């Protein structure tokens, strides 16, 4: 191996540890008619490191790329370096009008930076974003695939996405969520602060960050145990608060479906004390559903089976049921099952 090849190999190896590898795309080189498919790894000292179908990395001088690909590489390099505050909730967006929205049937060979409070809807099917890369830099910037189900997005398109310049990972820094017949991508990490509670009314006093799937009660309520006056619930989440530690007594359920919710004061019955808080991720489930074990071959959005033993998939929500006072048991791993609410049994013996 010559010196340049050795340097290229070492550079590629180093870059593979620090720069996310994106989905393969076709590249065109000056003087070569046939395009070459490879994954982009990174840029270093005027060279572009690609990874071929055989898994081996190699370096190509920037000037060898076609003018269109040079423009794409410049945009990609700039986008990968652009970061925001994805781990922080930010200022509440309290109405649908607070989000800028645009749509496109396809976006081919584009570099898109998703920022601020915004929505981008891709309406095409199959692969409407061939050769494109998306970098999420805000927790309020959501990407919709209106006609592609979540399982397809997760299995075939994940290599197109970055979150603050880092490779996106389903369930870790990017939520892949059912949205009617399609999908919405929400750039929130697992420990995202879905709800921020305040000890005083009108978002005054001390603030307490709350996460999903945590049993907040007793000592876990922290400062809220003695004083809970208001809260912000981020879009894409549901929260239940109650006056009894078991979730009974006076209770209220809040769903932030279309925008953030700001609750400036608690309703009557909860003003004197909250002993139960649960926050769950919200799904945008469609109306079509079925009861029983025949849902696998049907085009439905949800199913239930008079029990609590099944699990939701990316594409279909499982609706569990609490049939009797003590059965099924409530000691469940709600996160693993993908369940965010229970039906009550309406056919007493």
pLDDT in tens, 49-67: 999 889 899 999 999 999 8
CB neighbour class for 345 (10 Å; exposed up to 12, middle 13-18, buried from 19): middle
What local confidence, expressed as pLDDT, does residue 142 receive?
Answer: 98
Contacts of 313 (CB under 8 A, 6+ apart): 151, 338
Reported as a single tens digit per residue, the pLDDT across 4-35 is 333 333 333 333 323 445 667 889 999 888 99
Domain 3-81 = CATH 3.90.1200.10: no
CATH second-level architecture of 195-281? Sandwich (2.60)
β-pairing, 100-104 vs 118-122, is parallel
Q: What is the DSSP letter of 1?
A: -
Predicted pLDDT of residue 9? 35
**β-pairing, 175-179 with 182-186?**
antiparallel
In the DSSP assignment, the letter for residue 205 is S
Beta bridge partners of 342: 320
Task: Tell me the torsion sign for CA atoms 235, 301, 171, 319.
Answer: positive
Residue 101 belongs to what H/E stretch? strand 100-104
Q: Which of the 8 DSSP states describes residue 105?
A: S
pLDDT tens, per residue, the chain with 349 residues: 333 333 333 333 333 323 445 667 889 999 888 998 898 888 878 899 999 889 899 999 999 999 888 888 888 877 777 776 655 666 899 999 999 999 999 999 899 999 999 999 999 999 999 989 999 999 999 999 999 999 999 999 998 999 998 889 999 999 999 999 999 999 999 999 999 999 999 999 999 999 999 999 998 998 898 899 999 999 999 999 999 998 889 999 999 999 999 999 999 989 878 999 999 999 999 999 999 888 888 999 999 998 999 999 999 999 999 888 788 888 899 999 999 988 887 666 5
- Rounded to whole angstroms, the Cα distance separating 118 from 122 reads 13
Predicted local distance difference test score (pLDDT) of residue 40: 85
Question: What span, in angstroms and rounded, lies between the C-alpha atoms of 65 and 70?
Answer: 6
What is the per-residue pLDDT for 346? 67
Is the Cβ–Cβ distance between 131 and 25 less than 8 Å?
Answer: yes
Unique residue bearing structure tokens 């305040």: 198
| Token pair recorded at residue 337 | 């099952």
The C-alpha atoms of residue 130 and residue 122 are separated, in whole angstroms, by 12
- What tokens does 51 get? 């990874």
Tally DSSP H helices, then E strands, for the chain: 4, 25
Q: Any bridge partners for residue 167, and if so which?
A: 162
C-alpha 294/C-alpha 214 separation (Å) is 33
Q: What is the pLDDT of residue 21?
A: 54
Query: Of 206, 213, 129, which Cα lies nearest the Cα of 171?
Result: 213
Sorted by where each begins, the domain ranges of the chain are: 3-81, 96-186, 195-281, 289-344
* Residue of 173, 170, 224 lying closest to 195 (CA atoms): 224
**Which tokens is 346 given?**
């309406």
How many other C-beta atoms are found inside a 10 Å radius of the C-beta of residue 157?
22
Residue/partner pairs of 328-332 with CB below 8 Å, 24 or more apart: 332/308
């Amino acid at each position: 191996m010559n010196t340049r090849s050795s340097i290229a190999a070492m550079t590629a190896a180093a870059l593979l540890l620090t720069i996310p590898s994106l989905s393969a795309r076709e590249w065109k080189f000056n003087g070569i008619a046939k395009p070459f498919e490879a994954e982009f790894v990174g840029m270093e000292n005027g060279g572009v490191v690609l990874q071929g179908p055989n898994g081996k990395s190699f370096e190509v001088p920037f000037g060898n790329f076609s003018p269109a690909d040079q423009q794409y590489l410049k945009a990609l390099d700039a986008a990968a370096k652009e970061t925001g505050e994805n781990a922080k909730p930010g200022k509440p967006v309290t109405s649908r009008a607070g989000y800028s929205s645009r749509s496109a049937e396809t976006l081919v060979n584009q570099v898109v930076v998703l920022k601020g409070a915004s929505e981008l809807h891709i309406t095409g099917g199959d692969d409407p974003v061939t050769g494109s890369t998306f970098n999420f830099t805000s927790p309020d910037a959501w990407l919709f695939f209106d006609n592609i189900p979540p399982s397809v997005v997760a299995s075939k398109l994940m290599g197109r996405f970055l979150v603050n310049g880092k490779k996106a990972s389903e369930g870790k820094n990017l939520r892949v969520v059912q949205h009617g017949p399609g999908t919405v991508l929400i750039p929130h990490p697992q420990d995202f602060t879905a709800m921020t509670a305040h000890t005083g009314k009108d978002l005054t006093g001390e603030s307490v960050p709350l996460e999903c799937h945590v049993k907040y009660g007793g000592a876990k309520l922290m400062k809220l145990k003695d004083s809970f006056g208001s809260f912000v619930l981020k879009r894409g989440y549901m929260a239940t608060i109650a006056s009894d530690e078991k979730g009974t007594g006076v209770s209220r359920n809040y769903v932030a479906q279309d925008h953030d919710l700001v609750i400036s004061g608690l309703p009557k019955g909860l003003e004197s004390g909250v002993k139960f808080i649960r926050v769950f991720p919200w799904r945008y489930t469609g109306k079509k559903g079925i009861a029983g074990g025949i849902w696998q071959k049907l085009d439905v959005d949800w199913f239930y089976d008079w029990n609590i033993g099944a699990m939701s998939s990316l594409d279909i929500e499982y609706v569990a049921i609490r049939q009797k006072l003590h059965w099924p048991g409530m000691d469940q791993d709600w996160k693993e099952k993908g369940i965010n609410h229970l039906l009550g049994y309406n056919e007493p013996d």
